């Protein structure tokens, strides 16, 4: 099974919650074929915006949306 990952982020209303200030301004970094390349892209964006405490980037596991019956842990991707 192909394991696609989406990296995206934006400015949050409150840094303690995962609520975007403006959904129209969400930055879609890209879709990646494996966790490691998604993690590298996430890390790059997170480091680029480190001075803004309200900016957050996330990795969404798109393959889990395709088959919700398969349980996977976040560390399974590092394999």
> Per-residue pLDDT tens for 23-45?
999 999 999 999 999 999 999 99
d(CA 63, CA 24): 24
Element at 66 (helix H, strand E): helix 62-66
Enter the pTM of the model.
Answer: 0.77
- The mean-pLDDT minimum among 31-35, 58-62, 64-68 falls in 64-68
Q: How far is residue 64's CA from residue 13's CA, in Å, rounded to a whole number? A: 27
Lowest mean pLDDT among 5-9, 10-14, 18-22, 61-65: 61-65
């Amino acid at each position: 099974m192909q394991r696609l990952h989406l990296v995206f982020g934006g400015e949050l209303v409150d840094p303690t919650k995962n609520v975007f200030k403006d959904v129209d301004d969400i930055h879609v970094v890209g879709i990646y074929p494996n966790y490691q390349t998604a993690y590298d892209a996430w890390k790059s964006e997170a480091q680029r915006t480190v001075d803004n405490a309200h900016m957050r980037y996330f990795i969404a596991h798109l393959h889990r949306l395709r088959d919700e019956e398969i349980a996977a842990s976040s560390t399974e991707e590092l394999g």
